[in-house]
Amino acid sequence: MKKSRNKSNDPITLTNWRWSIFINDALNALSTFKHQPYPISPEFLYKENSIDYKKTRINAKAMLWACKTEKIRQARAACIDAGKAASVLNLVINPQHDFELPFFGADFVTLPSGHLLALDLQPVLHKDDLHNNYVFSRLIPIYQRWKSFFPSGGPIPEEAKPFFSKGFLWSRLPLSIESDKIIVNELRQAFNEYLELYIDLLKNSHPVSTERSSKLLSGQKAYVNYRRAKDPARGMLSRFYGKEWTEAFINTALFPL
Ligand code: DBV
């Protein structure tokens, strides 16, 4: 049944979706700010398609939640529920470039091959002490507390490395009852601690100089251009919803400049 979503900050109504508790935690954390819907074309707020999967048909549902605030240019959560084929929460918070703030990035992906978990406060300016030292002095203790619960996710693309911090929590878990427990316990706690830190940084940030703002904007553009070009979700989204819709979704809704 098609669910109507008219505004980008209408609730996410995916039932029995693994990542519901995470999106609820994120919306709860963001509710501390006065936020408005982020302008998104209705075709990207809800998408459903029936696809072939292992000799059966499955319903692949996609919902996009998004908002903007005084200090957030766009916060958006891409929510995919395609049953056993894929279950994804991809949350990115893009700060206004007038503020000395990193991105908040969470990419939680369940595929038949297992869970892929990526969580970070991602630097806008990679090699910049002013931008990184304070934030990562607060992030690293959180990272140290949780990293031992997660096996390493292994190598990531060399070109992606500048977009991650030293607090990048990166893991791959097998599909299992034990992994399910880690997700609802340790991963959820880590997610909320990263998010609480990010919300605190937002609350205590102040506008930077015009010159600094321009440098931060360049850094944001480099990140967005990379993610547009190399979004690892391209294959999955194209299979579910077609190449044309996928390209428009990535370039205008997920990673708007
Ligand atoms: N990733 C997205 C969006 C998704 C999404 C918008 C709507 O950015 C899903 C969905 N990520 C997704 C899927 C995969 C990954 C992988 C489906 C698995 C692709 C596959 O294996 O078939 C963090 N996500 C990844 C990977 C990383 C991230 C590092 C592994 C990539 C690889 O192994 O090549 N966060 C993600 C990322 C960046 C980031 C790639 C880059 C700067 O910030």
pLDDT digits (tens, 9 = 90+) for 121-172: 999 999 899 999 999 999 999 999 999 999 999 999 999 999 999 999 999 9
Name the residue at shortest CA distance from atom 1 of ligand 1.
233
Burial readout 215-242 (b: 16 or more C-beta within 10 A, e: otherwise)? bbbebbeebbebbbeebebbebbbbbbe
Q: Which residue has the higher pLDDT, 6 or 102?
A: 102
- Cα dihedral 208, 211, 216, 221 in deg (nearest 10): 140
Which residues sit with their C-beta closer than 6 Å to ligand 1?
78, 80, 88, 90, 105, 107, 109, 116, 118, 122, 156-157, 160, 163, 226-227, 231-233, 236, 254
pLDDT at 3 over 70: no
Q: Which atom of ligand 1 lies nearest, measured to the CA of 113?
A: 21
pLDDT digits (tens, 9 = 90+) for 40-85: 999 999 999 999 989 999 999 999 999 999 999 999 999 999 999 9
Which tens digits make up the pLDDT trace of 168-219? Answer: 999 999 999 999 999 999 999 999 999 999 999 999 999 999 999 999 999 9
Span from the CA of 43 to the centroid of ligand 1 (angstroms) = 22
| Centre of ligand 1 from the C-alpha of residue 199, in Å | 24
- pLDDT at 2 > cutoff 60: no
Average pLDDT, the chain: 95
CB count within 10 Å of CB 143 equals 20
Task: Tell which atom from ligand 1 comes closest to the C-alpha of 120.
Answer: 43
Residue minimizing CA distance to atom 12 of ligand 1: 233
Question: What residue's CA is closest to ligand 1, atom 9?
Answer: 233
Tokens 């690293």 belong to 140
Say how many Å lie between the CA of residue 117 and the centre of ligand 1.
9
pTM, full prediction: 0.95
